[in-house]
Homo-oligomer: A and B are copies of this chain.
Amino acid sequence: MEGEPEVNVFKHEEDFVSFLKSSIAREMAIVVLGLCSVDYRGRAQSRLGEGIHVVLVKSDGAVLVHGPEGYEPINYQPKTTSLTVFRDGEKIVLRAVRTRPYEELKIIFTKIYSAIAFKTHFRPEFIMYGREEDLRRAVVRNPALVEEGLRVVEIERKVRPGFIDLLCVDKEGKLVVIEFKREEAGISAVRQLYEYVKALSSELGRPVRGILAAPRISRDARSLLTTLGLEYRRLDLRKCMRYMTITGLEKFIRK
């Protein structure tokens, strides 16, 4: 690992307010196990009664409240505009406010069992050993991984030069050919996509968009792509993985 990580463990003799404040000021991620209740107000209002919860406050302001069961958080706020901490009698309040749309999450702690803050500049690499077919499967389940509003039309459509990975329709009704690469896309991927787009467009007699979907693209490939009027969308492999493993959605794909 490059660079030394910073880790601050909360000692019970410390003041929890100062611990939170200094950790937030230094943009550290914070993990608290505490007895707390949660008030939310935004589009609606809710209150989570007092219980033992794991509170995660990330360095980018994302806040999650987890209970002892289930993989989904009980409460969460993906983005926070401001985080404030204050004392309210015996209680300590962490207030996460998001301004657009207005949402306020108030976590009211009455007891802290453990708290720790950490910061690291190192971002571990995530490698997926899937096949292109797996990426396509993920996108079939959730086309928004490539573009909002896409609908899947056909898988492996035969055109003159070969098989199109995925054929979709965008939200404006235009046909979109998608070519997947599971690693860095190079010149040959761009050529391949261009062949498919050209073939399909002439077969149907109407314009067709071409998207190269891959985790990375080489500089040469990117430049050729632009020249040919094609598009690149970065595939987030972590997100794709999630759609490969969510099996409850399996039935939808077959439709």
**B118 engages A46 (CB within 8 Å):** no
State whether the Cβ of A37 lies closer than 8 Å to any Cβ in chain B: yes
Question: Does the CB pair B50–A124 fall under 8 Å?
Answer: yes
Contact of A60 among B54, B63, B70 (CB under 8 A): B70
Q: Is the CB of A113 within 8 A of B118?
A: yes
Stoichiometry, copies per complex: 2
Our pick among B29, B113, B245 for the contact of A69 (Cβ within 8 Å) is B29
Whether B7 and A113, one on each chain, are in contact in the complex, defined by CB atoms closer than 8 angstroms, is yes
Partner-contacting stretch, out of A71-79, A173-181, A199-207:
A71-79
* Interface size, A (range): 35 or more
Q: How far in angstroms is the closest Cβ of chain B from A139? A: 13
A134 located at the interface, meaning its Cβ lies under 8 Å from any Cβ of chain B in the complex: yes
Q: Which residues of B contact A40 (CB under 8 A)?
A: 241
Within 8 A of B (CB), among A43-86: 43-52, 54, 56, 58-60, 62-64, 66-78
Interface window among A125-133, A187-195, A217-225: A125-133
**What residues on B are CB-neighbors of A126 within 8 Å?**
46-49, 74
Binary CB contact string for chain A from 110 to 140 against chain B (1 if under 8 A, 0 otherwise): 0001101011101111111111001001000
A114's contact among B75, B116, B125, by CB below 8 Å, is which?
B116
Q: Which of A193-246 contact B (CB under 8 A)?
A: 237-239, 241-242, 244-245
Question: Whole-angstrom distance between the alpha carbons of A238 and B43 in the complex?
Answer: 13
Q: Chain A, 130-161, contact with B by CB distance < 8 Å: what is the 0/1 string?
A: 11001001000000000000000000000000
Select from chain B the residue with minimum beta-carbon distance to A100. Answer: B247
